[in-house]
Amino acid sequence: MKPKRVWPAIATSLTILALTGCGQPAPTAAHSAAPLSPTVSPTSASPAQSTASPSYGPNSTSASQAPNESGASCVTHAAKGSCGPYRYAAITGSGGSSTYVLNDMWAANKGTAQALSVWNPGHWSVVANARPVGYTGVQTYPDAQQIYTRSDNSPDPLSGFGSILSSFTENMNATGATSAEAAYDIWLGQSSSTNYADEVMVWNDTVHRGTCGGATVKAHASFGGSHGVSRRRWTLCEYAGKELIWYLANDNERSGTVNLLAMLTWLETHGYLPAGSGLNQIDYGFEICSTRGPETFTVSRFAINST
């Protein structure tokens, strides 16, 4: 629920960060200007992929690409730490230039610390000590990121997809002091001049968040029932007339599959997204507001299957 904030993940990509607040927005002093859009290869290129021996590129100077004691192939404590790019078969279109895992400490308070360990984009963890206890603004959004912006710098049109299904398994190891959610952060536009103009979040698991973190409830809709997706009733919320949030009320899922294309096209059909919208980016991770000391957030399975 805050203005967009970005920084270069590598020389050919820009990181778009989570905005939604955990109750109260973080101080405006942490905000920055609207993002530029990355220039990447189109997802339709369908390059050869492999889950073994991920391909790494330039990275944050404080991130290590060598395996550590736990077997992670990339570890970073840096606020802007980035692991990747990866070639990862479980994400359609991941060809070694558009898939990353990011530490994303984009609005961290003094005293907040976070360490990201990555085995691959579907298996990673973060140890976060988000201070102070009880803070209600989003401080970090560690996430796996797939970029869809095409080589001509335009978003990949939703109309060109037959399906976008995404699976996850996560654990926040929550305590009574945890304030966080596991969530998708999806960025869309209609052309190269409107890249990243629209943001849609999908919250599958929340801890001490209330309904949509205090955003305005707008509608309800059910999705699922086919393609291995359990049918669930979702609440649609809107924050400040800009950010849309699908919220799984009273039915948190720590492991499951969502039909992202159905949720996005519903928004387009019902006028919440502009006609002709296309994908710039799909992220999945944790919006973290506060913890009671170090807390381990894990993603043990993440995939995007699109046609």
- Domain assignment present for residue 53? The answer is no
Does position 64 have pLDDT exceeding 70, yes or no?
no
Q: How far is CA 19 from CA 177, 232, 276, in A?
A: 21, 25, 24
In a domain, 246, yes or no: yes
- Domain around 83: 67-295
Cβ 183 vs Cβ 203: under 8 Å: yes
pLDDT at 16 over 50: no
Mean pLDDT over 137-151 rounds to 97
- Output the six-digit token pair for 282: 């799909």
Beta strands in the chain (DSSP E): 6-10, 13-16, 63-64, 74-76, 82-83, 99-102, 113-120, 123-129, 143-147, 156-157, 164-171, 179-189, 198-207, 216-223, 232-239, 243-247, 255-259, 278-290, 295-306
Measured distance CA(8)–CA(56) in Å, rounded: 16
Per-residue pLDDT for 175 more than 60?
yes
- pTM greater than 0.85 (yes/no): no
Question: What CATH number corresponds to the domain at position 179?
Answer: 2.60.120.180
What residues form DSSP beta bridges with 282? 146, 186
**268 has a pLDDT exceeding 80:** yes
In this structure, is residue 244 part of a structural domain?
yes
Give CA separation, 136 vs 31, 109, 180, 188, 260, in Å. Answer: 16, 11, 9, 27, 28
Which of 65, 80, 144 is closest to 114 using CA atoms? 80
Mean pLDDT across the chain, nearest whole number? Answer: 82
Whether residue 243 is contained in a domain is answered as yes
What's the structural domain count of the chain? 1
Count the Cβ atoms, other than its own, within 10 Å of residue 250.
Answer: 8
Considering the domain boundaries, does residue 213 fall inside one? yes
Strands 13-16 and 156-157: unpaired
Q: What share of the chain is helix, strand, coil (3-state, %, to 5)?
A: 5, 40, 50
Asked which of 59-73, 168-182, 185-199 is least confident by mean pLDDT, the reply is 59-73
3 within a domain of the structure (yes/no):
no
Note the pLDDT of residue 249.
75
Q: Give pLDDT, residue 21.
A: 56
Contact assessment for residue 304 and residue 281, using Cβ atoms and an 8 Å cutoff? no
Residue 49: inside a domain, yes or no? no
Residues 155, 191: contact at Cβ < 8 Å?
yes
Q: Which pLDDT value is given to residue 241?
A: 86
As beta bridge partners, residue 182 has 205, 286
DSSP letter for 43, please.
G
CB 91 within 8 A of CB 84: no
- Judge whether 229 and 202 are in contact, CB under 8 Å: no
Is 144 among the domain residues?
yes
Per-residue confidence (pLDDT) for residue 25, from 0 to 100: 35
